[in-house]
Structure 1
Amino acid sequence: MGKLKGKIAVVTGASSGIGAGIARELASEGASVVLTARSMEKLKELENEIHQQGKGKALAVKTDMANRDNVEEMVKKANEAFGDVDIFVNNAGQMLTGTVRSGEVKEWEQMIDVNIKGILYGVHSVLPSMLERSTGHIINIASVSGYEVTKTSTVYSATKFAVRAISMGLEKELARTGVRVTNISPGMVATRLSNSTVMDRKKLETEDIAKAVVYAVTQPAYVNVNEITIRPV
């Protein structure tokens, strides 16, 4: 029997990369997983893959995390299909150019809308139910860019600093409520977004981040893993 049998999870940005890896891992441990992203075709492929695996259940729901109404509707569908959400993984994100000098205001706005507002909309959509039940786990996927800023990552790094700040504040707000918060900051992961980045060492795999999520959510109820930073060796 899987460690997460009977648990209901939502994974945002689940159509590829880290999000897809997290969804697969949660489902392999028996969870029912709601898959969200803007690409319904890719979500349906992952939904079918999880069903064929036969360990967990999946439901694909097309969602724009920058749209509050979309997020609320997605959680409503999750509740109708599986029940109250136990685990909410805020993974959806935009990683664009992000320099201030470029003047690419639309790119800044996309990152702010998805990386910051999307996180808050996701939390807002499930937190009342979690507080009412005195149980639940919010996982926020940040980045090592939330610790370190390069000359080309100013705005992106700012959004990931914000994700860490939200996580730290939430952990304090929710102390002794039964609702746990974990912030996970990955280093370079081998995904479509990082294909053009050359490193002198092996990049992390999506499964490495997924296993960290499972580690955090399977701790005893009195244990809150606040922050995990994962880097290539």
Structure 2
Amino acid sequence: MSSIENKVVVITGASGGLGAHLAMDVAKRKGIPVLLARREEQLKIVQDTIFQETGVKAPYYALDVSKQENVQGVFQRVFIDLKEIHILVNNAGFGVFEEFAEADWQTVESMFSTNVLGLMACTQAVLPYMLQKGSGHIINIASQAGKISTPKSSVYAATKHAVLGFSNGLRLEVAHKGVVVTTVNPGPIATDFFTLADQSGNYVKNIQKFMLQPSHVSKKVVEAMEHPVRELNLPWWMNAGSTLYQLMPRVVETLGGKSFRQK
């Protein structure tokens, strides 16, 4: 029996990409994935696919995480309908790769509203319940970009640095209260994230052979649901580079040179 069987697992950004894979893998382990995203018609497609393949009915709710009132209302409905939330996966997010000097300020604000404030709002919506119950698991999808920033990802990396900082502080706050906080730091994943982030297609072309498959990342995240860890870093060699960067930033930036300018 899976340790997430019959557990309610709320997943933001579940209309496609990694979020949809996570929902399917949770359902295959007889968990109850709750699908949250802005695109309601896409959520219905994911729900139907999950039911056809697993027989699990995955409830879905339209949610824009950047709107705090919307977050509060949707999570109240989830609690009313399902009574509890065992695991929250903060997966919603987006990026736009461009030089900061050319960045549109509305896009900058939107990235922070979704990637950081939206994640925090969803966490705050479930945390009091988890603390009262004395159990729960919050999984924040961050990025290797939160450990080492590169040209044209300064704003996106800043949001992921913020996610890591928030997660690390929160982990210490709840460490002795039964709630676990896991951060997931993947490298580039082959999803439609890059449709917006890399509109030229140059970055994907340059790093395609190194991109992670969402099915692989999803498998590792679900394993972390069943056996919680502090951090999940993928792939290992990219995380080794991030660790080296913390020790010798100037050396890594110098040696990185051209490879850092893939965008």
Normalising to structure 1: TM-score of the pair?
0.93
Aligned positions of 1:148-159 closer than 5 A = 148-159=148-159
> 1:11 matched to which residue of 2?
11
Trace 1:168-179 onto structure 2 (pairs within 5 A): 168-179=168-179
What letter is aligned with 1:210?
S
Q: Which whole-Å deviations, capped at 9, do the CAs of 1:89-147 have from their partners, x for residues lacking one?
A: 00000211353211410110110000010111010000000001100000000011111
Are 2:208 and 1:204 equivalent residues in the alignment?
Answer: no
Aligned to 1:80: 80
Call closer, same or farther: CA 1:132–1:45 in 2, change over 3 Å.
Answer: same
Is the CA contact (8 Å cut-off) linking 1:140 and 1:182 kept in structure 2?
A: yes
- The count of corresponding residues between Structure 1 and Structure 2 is 229
Matched, 1:117 2:106: no
Q: Aligned letter for 2:66? A: A
Aligned equivalent of 1:231: 235
Structure 1 counterpart SS, 2:89: strand
State the shift of 1:193 in Å.
2.4
Q: Quick one: which amino acid aligns to residue 4 of structure 2? A: L
Q: Distance in 2 between matches of 1:169 and 1:86?
A: 21
What is aligned with 1:216?
224
C-alpha contact (below 8 Å) 1:94/1:110 kept by paired residues? no
Deviation of the 1:201 alpha carbon: 2.3
Contact 2:11 2:19 in 1 (8 A): yes
Match of 1:193 in 2: 193
Residue type at the aligned position of 1:27: A
Q: Is the 8 A contact 1:3 1:30 kept in 2?
A: no
Structure number with bigger Rg: 2
Superposition TM-score, scaled by structure 2 size: 0.83
Q: Is the 8 A contact 2:27 2:56 kept in 1?
A: yes
Structure 1: segments with no counterpart, 5+ residues: none
1:107 aligns with 2:107: yes
Question: SS where residue 162 of structure 2 aligns?
Answer: helix
Tell me, yes or no, if structure 1 residue 23 matches structure 2 residue 31: no
Counterparts of 1:129-168 in structure 2, within 5 Å, are 129-168=129-168
Distance 1:179 1:232, change over 3 A: closer
Q: Which amino acid aligns with 1:212?
A: K
Q: Deviations over 1:29-84 (max 9, x none)?
A: 11111111111111000111112223533111000000111111221222222221
**What CA distance in whole angstroms lies between the structure 1 residues aligned with 2:179 and 2:55?**
26
Q: Does 1:92 align with 2:69?
A: no
The answer to whether structure 1 residue 39 and structure 2 residue 39 are counterparts is yes
CA distance in 2, matches of 1:98, 1:186: 20
Aligned to 2:209, the other structure's residue is in SS state coil
Whether the 8 Å contact between 1:187 and 1:232 is mirrored in structure 2 is: no
CA distance in 2, matches of 1:68, 1:163: 17
User: 1:55 and 1:163 mapped to 2: Cα distance?
Assistant: 34
Unmatched tracts of structure 2, length 5 or more: 196-200, 238-263
Partner letter of residue 194 of structure 2?
S
Asked whether the equivalents of residues 94 and 193 of structure 2 are also in contact (C-alpha less than 8 Å), the reply is: no
Aligned partner of residue 201 in structure 1, secondary structure: helix
Rounded Cα–Cα distance in structure 1 between residues aligned with 2:83 and 2:98: 39
| Distance change in 2, residues 1:73/1:66 (3 Å) | same
> Normalized per residue, which structure has more helix?
2
Q: Quote the offset at 1:200 in angstroms.
A: 5.8
Matched to 2:57, the amino acid is K
CA RMSD, Structure 1 to Structure 2 (Å):
1.6
1:117 partner amino acid: L
